[in-house]
Amino acid sequence: MSFAPGQSPTRVILEQPGGWSRWSGRLAWIIAGISLVVAVVSAGANAQYFQTNPKVIEQYHSLAETAPNKIAIIDISGAIMGGEGFARHQIDQVEKDETVQAIVLRIDSPGGTVSGSDELHYRLTKLAADRDLPVVVSMGGIAASGGYYIAMASGGRENTIFAEPSTVTGSIGVIIPHYDLSQFLKRFDITDDSFTSGPLKEMLSLTKDRSPELAQRERKVIQGLVDAMFTRFKTIVQEGRPELDNETLEKVTTGQVFTAQQAVDFGLVDKIGFLEDAVDRAVELAGLSSATARVVRYQQPQGLLDELLGGQPAAQSLTSLQTLVEWTTPRAWYLCSWWPAIAASHP
């Protein structure tokens, strides 16, 4: 086609009938809006399934996997060194989770420090009271001394402490370990010549050569501390097992360990059963059923370095000097062990 000089070509624009391009743009925005609303609603409805605590990993354990109401298993495992470890993180997780309706306290511990045992017992009983949560105890291989102390967080409810047939429990008492190496050091002409602000500052020292009078004075002071802590232990047992009479209480607080059946006979334990039995009781106390309860358990996150170190937390493995100082610090223990100084806690 030819054009006259100065004449521009004519453009022809074809449009689809009905203005489809205009409506297709609107439809895209409508679909995007609906998708956003659905995503927000879904996230809100399933928020409980997302991991929000970097110190605790929640995992499904048993019963109804999609049920909104939870039974939380809190594990107390190994020697109890303090109240700030993984056990505390689990308690904090339950405290923040409003969907938890009951706690199963799984104990496999020989006990530990007086302060650590007492703090965990306090936090568990406070959590149970603040949230009105039933606490059911499931004892593993050993739940002795401080481990039994913590079990008293069940609060004296009927049929809330279960021990496996092979469980060892009891050992209700206090020990402050002390070893005298002063005579051994004398063989090598080594003398502890420490400067102190008073004669009792070196109580429980391994190396101090004491006069008989000073040794007797120290023993009296330390025994007074042990007796006071022991009195508190018995008070905690009375609160957790109110059906025990005074005569039975004296029989079971000699420091002796008991088999599961002996513990049942004395009233220290309610029933012989496994973790599943404790879970069933917790479900019952929470007013739920196997179809409406989801049992969850917690794990401690581990990184690559933890795996290379054999599964132990890297921070714990890399602070051996701090741990050594911790172990050699004189402490009172609710512990069932011949050598409290080398007991180690683990997740």
Catalytic-role residue among 55, 96, 126, 201: 201
Cα–Cα distance for residue pair 91/329, rounded to 1 Å: 27
Q: Are 127 and 91 in contact (CB under 8 A)?
A: yes
Catalytic-role residue among 109, 115, 117, 145: 145
Name the one residue in this structure whose structure tokens are 């021990």: 163
Cα–Cα distance for residue pair 162/275, rounded to 1 Å: 8
Cα–Cα distance for residue pair 282/333, rounded to 1 Å: 30
Q: Are 152 and 241 in contact (CB under 8 A)?
A: yes
User: What amino acid is encoded at 320 in this protein?
Assistant: S
Sign of dihedral through CA atoms 319, 324, 325, 327? Answer: positive
Cα–Cα distance for residue pair 285/290, rounded to 1 Å: 12
Please indicate whether residue 208 is annotated as part of the active site: no
Cα–Cα distance for residue pair 292/298, rounded to 1 Å: 20
Cα–Cα distance list, 197 to 191, 194, 202, 212 (Å): 18, 10, 9, 20
Cα angle 212, 214, 215 (rounded to 5 degrees) comes to 60
Cα–Cα distance list, 172 to 30, 69, 70, 117, 230 (Å): 69, 36, 33, 12, 8
Cα–Cα distance for residue pair 153/94, rounded to 1 Å: 15
Q: Which residues are catalytic?
A: 145, 201
